[in-house]
């Protein structure tokens, strides 16, 4: 059952890849201290019902990582297409959301969705086909990716090198200087706690803070609508400090302004 699918309430900086160094003189477009990427995984009803309207009210852009087997791709496709037209990013989160069944507390992973049994060619094909479907939804050719459950090993091999050339960036595995980016998947905490975490990341020198939500006011790994609204209001009122934009826009800016890139 997907409601139990991922314990994800800790910082993921320990698994972020740092392959290229950003110039120490790097700055965000308007001199902001930190960029904030708000992303939402799994193509959930509550994201269409609650997250997108809340973002739109404050003219903020989010990144929605669609699992294409989600029922909303059948029942609410026009709404996802409208979200893209409003400037939100539709990212790749595979077709079937495979995860590793061999890790602790993964009893919910079905045998046919067990990434441990995939071959690299299988996950590459799934990701590639998902990109084709996403293009059919929003007409865009550039894309970013969030690995499902942050599991990246199939048949004992890291598959990310085999798909990296399809994406502007892979969330959580950015090619940036160590300490530049962190990722966090909150659930069940207050708006005040969300804001305090943003402030703490900024104070620690983080330049890109990825906040990875799932359900907003419903569904699994839920953040309440009130807590989500509290965070959005804070970010909207402090745009001179935080650049809140889609992940693809942020990472394209990083690529264009990175030393040696």
pLDDT per residue over 21-55, tens digit each?
445 679 999 999 999 999 999 999 999 999 999 99
Residue pair 63/89 in contact (Cβ under 8 Å)? The answer is yes
Residue pair 148/154 in contact (Cβ under 8 Å)? The answer is no
To which CATH superfamily is domain 2-257 assigned? Answer: Glycoside hydrolase/deacetylase (3.20.20.370)
pLDDT at 259 exceeding the cut of 50: no
pLDDT at 201 exceeding the cut of 50: yes
Model confidence at 258, pLDDT cuts 50, 70, 90, reads confident
Distance CA 252, CA 123 (A): 25
Find, among 221, 237, 253, the residue nearest to 144 by Cα: 253
Domain ranges of the chain: 2-257
Scanning the structure block, which residue is given the tokens 């302004």? 257
Across the range 128-143, mean pLDDT stands at 98
Tell me the per-residue pLDDT of 67-107, one tens digit each, with 9 for 90 and over: 999 999 999 999 999 999 999 999 999 999 999 999 999 99
Among 9-13, 27-31, 45-49, 191-195, where is mean pLDDT lowest?
Answer: 9-13
Q: What pTM did the predictor assign?
A: 0.92
End-to-end CA distance of the chain: 42
Phi, psi of 167 (to 5 degrees): -130, 150
């Amino acid at each position: 059952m997907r409601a139990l699918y991922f314990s994800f309430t800790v910082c993921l900086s320990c698994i972020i890849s740092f392959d290229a160094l950003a110039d120490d003189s790097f700055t965000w477009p308007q001199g902001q201290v930190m960029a904030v990427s708000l992303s939402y995984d799994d193509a959930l009803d509550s994201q269409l019902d609650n997250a997108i309207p809340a973002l739109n009210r404050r003219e903020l852009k989010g990144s929605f990582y669609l699992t294409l087997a989600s029922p909303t791709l059948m029942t609410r496709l026009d709404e996802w297409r409208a979200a893209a037209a409003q400037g939100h990013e539709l990212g790749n989160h595979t077709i079937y959301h495979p995860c590793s069944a061999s890790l602790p507390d993964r009893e919910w992973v079905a045998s046919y969705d067990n990434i441990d049994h995939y071959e690299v060619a299988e996950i590459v094909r799934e990701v590639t086909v998902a990109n084709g479907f996403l293009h059919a939804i929003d007409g865009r050719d550039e894309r970013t990716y969030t690995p499902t459950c942050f599991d990246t090993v199939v048949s004992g091999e890291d598959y990310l090198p085999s798909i990296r050339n399809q994406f502007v960036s892979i969330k959580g595995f950015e090619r940036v200087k160590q300490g530049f980016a962190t990722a966090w998947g909150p659930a069940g905490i207050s708006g005040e706690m969300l804001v305090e975490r943003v402030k703490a990341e900024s104070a620690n020198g983080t330049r890109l803070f990825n906040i990875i939500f799932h359900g907003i006011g419903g569904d699994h790994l839920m953040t309440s609508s009130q807590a989500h609204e509290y965070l959005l209001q804070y970010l909207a009122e402090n745009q001179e400090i935080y650049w809140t934009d889609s992940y693809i826009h942020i990472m394209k800016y990083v690529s264009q302004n990175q030393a040696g890139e």
